[in-house]
């Protein structure tokens, strides 16, 4: 575990991170309110072929205190710094939700350090993912008001499609997901609001053409209320040569719900980039 090898203090935050596996390096970047171990379904499978770096974002989980202000630009610098601590000149970058803008910022500011991009359930313009639609207002309120049980169940509807919840013991599912999110699904971490504000303030939509030559995979989920597929399609269209794949039976929790299928696409994408066959 990298965190035990040396103090990982950067810009006022002591980071908690982990490196597992052997092979080409991958850095995984999480979204709002999720710990680095949310990537466990990916690391468990891909760690047999790749070296996988996961971490808690600034102010999240064990990466405390937040230190510097929470911005996408700062979190991109954080990720590049963690790569430095791992001794990596470059890495494949896999990112979910808020992680997508962080990954884009890395590729835009330090292109030689990004071997490829895999952008899952995300957007190029943060306000697209933080827009207050009637659906998001209703679901958001239900995750914050009422009993813990009802809030957990509301949160499940943010990350899983109805087809995946039908006939399922939702209390048991919430308990199963808790270790991956790093907290009770009924209680959102305090830093989540700052992360959302950072996401809302970020916009890379007019710079995406500069990523020509970066092998890019964009994955979207048909039932995602946070990053609907239209934003994933727009993202893929704006990055020259990007490949796009849409899951018809998934929502924002795509990397967890369909870990096997996602991992297969990630493996294919990274192997292609390593072989020089990317965009």
Please tell me the predicted confidence (pLDDT) of residue 279: 53
Mean pLDDT value across the chain: 94
Please tell me the predicted confidence (pLDDT) of residue 140: 78
Partnered with residue 52 across adjacent β-strands are 20, 26
pLDDT band at 7 (very low <50, low <70, confident <90, very high): low
Q: Helix or strand or coil: residue 218?
A: strand
Kindly report the backbone phi and psi dihedral angles of residue 41, in degrees, each rounded to the nearest multiple of 5, phi listed first.
-60, -30
Please tell me the predicted confidence (pLDDT) of residue 132: 76
Q: Helix or strand or coil: residue 247?
A: strand
Please tell me the predicted confidence (pLDDT) of residue 248: 97
pLDDT reading at 2 higher than 80: no
Q: What is the average per-residue pLDDT within 3-21?
A: 82
Q: What is the pLDDT of residues 204-242, one digit of tens each?
A: 999 999 999 999 999 999 999 999 999 999 999 999 999
Neighbouring C-beta atoms of residue 230, cutoff 10 Å: 11
C-alpha distances in Å from residue 172, one per residue of 35, 44, 111, 250: 20, 22, 43, 19
Q: What is the pTM of this model?
A: 0.95
pLDDT reading at 133 higher than 50: yes
Q: What is the pLDDT of residues 41-92, one digit of tens each?
A: 999 999 999 999 999 999 999 999 999 999 999 999 999 999 999 999 999 9
Max Cα separation, the chain? 52
Please tell me the predicted confidence (pLDDT) of residue 37: 95
pLDDT reading at 17 higher than 80: yes
Are 225 and 156 a contacting pair, CB within 8 Å?
A: no
Which residue bears the tokens 């770096």? 53
pLDDT reading at 1 higher than 70: no
Are 86 and 8 a contacting pair, CB within 8 Å?
A: no
Please tell me the predicted confidence (pLDDT) of residue 278: 55
- CA 263, CA 220: separation in Å to the nearest integer? 14
Sequence-separated contacts (24+) of 173-181 with Cβ below 8 Å: 177/253, 177/256, 179/37, 179/40, 180/34, 180/35, 180/37, 180/38, 180/40, 180/41, 180/256, 181/33, 181/34, 181/35, 181/38
- CA 94, CA 117: separation in Å to the nearest integer? 6
- Is-cis flag, bond preceding 193, omega within 30? no
- CA 74, CA 198: separation in Å to the nearest integer? 10
Q: Please indicate whether residue 28 or residue 6 has the higher confidence score (pLDDT).
A: 28
Neighbouring C-beta atoms of residue 179, cutoff 10 Å: 12
Query: What domains does the chain contain, in order, with CATH numbers?
Result: 2-274 (3.40.50.1820)
- CA 11, CA 255: separation in Å to the nearest integer? 30
Cα 6 versus chain centre, distance: 25
- CA 208, CA 175: separation in Å to the nearest integer? 39
Q: What is the pLDDT of residues 235-279, one digit of tens each?
A: 999 999 999 999 999 999 999 999 999 999 999 999 999 998 655
Q: What is the average per-residue pLDDT within 12-28?
A: 97
Please tell me the predicted confidence (pLDDT) of residue 109: 98
Please tell me the predicted confidence (pLDDT) of residue 139: 77
């Amino acid at each position: 575990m990298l965190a035990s090898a040396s103090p990982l203090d950067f810009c006022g935050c002591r980071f908690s991170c982990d490196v597992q596996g052997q092979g080409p390096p991958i850095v995984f970047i999480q979204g709002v309110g999720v710990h680095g171990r949310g990537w466990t379904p990916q690391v468990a499978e891909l760690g047999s072929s790749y070296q996988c770096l996961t971490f808690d974002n600034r102010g999240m989980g064990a990466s405390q205190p937040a230190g510097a202000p929470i911005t996408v630009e700062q979190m991109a610098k954080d990720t590049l710094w963690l790569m430095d601590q791992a001794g990596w000149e470059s890495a494949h970058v896999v990112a979910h939700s808020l992680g997508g803008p962080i990954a884009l910022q890395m590729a835009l500011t330090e292109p030689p350090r990004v071997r490829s991009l895999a952008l899952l359930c995300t957007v190029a313009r943060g306000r697209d993912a933080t827009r207050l639609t009637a659906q998001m207002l209703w679901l958001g309120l239900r995750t914050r008001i009422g009993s813990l049980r009802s809030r957990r169940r509301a949160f499940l509807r943010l990350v899983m499609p109805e087809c995946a919840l039908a006939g399922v013991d939702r209390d048991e599912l919430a308990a199963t997901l808790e270790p991956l999110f790093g907290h009770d699904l009924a209680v959102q971490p305090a830093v989540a609001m700052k992360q959302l504000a950072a996401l809302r303030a970020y916009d890379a939509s007019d710079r995406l053409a500069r990523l020509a030559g970066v092998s890019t995979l964009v994955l979207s989920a048909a039932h995602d209320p946070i990053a609907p597929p239209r934003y994933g399609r727009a993202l893929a269209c704006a990055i020259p040569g990007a490949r796009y794949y849409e899951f018809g039976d998934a929502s924002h929790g795509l990397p967890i719900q369909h870990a096997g299928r996602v991992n297969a696409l990630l493996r294919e994408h990274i192997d292609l980039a390593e072989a020089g066959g990317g965009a």
